[in-house]
Structure 1
Amino acid sequence: MSDPNNTGDHAARMKALEGKIAALKGTEERRPHQDEHYSQAQMAWRMVIELVAGLGIGFGIGYGLDAFFGTSPWLMIIFIFFGLAAGVQTMMRSAQEIQRDQLAKQAGQDKEE
């Protein structure tokens, strides 16, 4: 068995082991993948919120106009469809923005290689 009082050898082995661990951690590329995963989830939530916001705003405007003019529920139905169309249009713009960003990243990576 090794001598417990021989701390110099133990400290040197620990330092060498910490160096190996640090070298292995430096070569792994987990963080960009995790960042990309969170970025995609955030973009998905953004699109869902844009759609729901469009529907909610259309509902609110339609309900308010129906209450003002007494035409319940016709204006509410019409403005819900307008809100849906606006939400889908905003989602499509977001999707195009994501696609532009992905193509720019891809073009940047192709230039590096």
Structure 2
Amino acid sequence: MSTTVPPVLPISTTSVAAAGSIESQASQPRITTLAFRAFINHITDTVRNGLSQRRPWAELAFRSAFAKPVSFSDTTLRVRKNYSYFLVNYLAIVALIVVVSLFTHPFSLDLLAAWLFLYLFRPSD
């Protein structure tokens, strides 16, 4: 006949207030790291999903598709269609221009890094 011993529970001798402050200090960096990792994963998934929906670049610059619109309503219709059809391509071009401008003006890059640091590591509500 074997007897099973119940698991031993840890016993803490510190006060509840001290334990709460120690626990919150220990968990704070982990929460920040998890929030940062979740933020990066969300950005990565969004970029991958967006780039999977882009149109071929040759189609964007297809010269025979350029023709003078007949009327103003035709112009607005074509702009709306092109905007919705080539949206990801246009966003990639804008993102490339922003990245190049940030690297050619280092102060802007420093300002962006400071803003991201303050945004990502702000205290939670």
Same topology, TM > 0.5: no
How does the TM-score come out when normalised to structure 1?
0.41
Larger RCO: 1 or 2 (CA < 8 Å, sep 6+): 2
Larger gyration radius, structure 1 or structure 2:
1
Going by fraction, where is helix more abundant, 1 or 2?
1
How does the TM-score come out when normalised to structure 2?
0.38
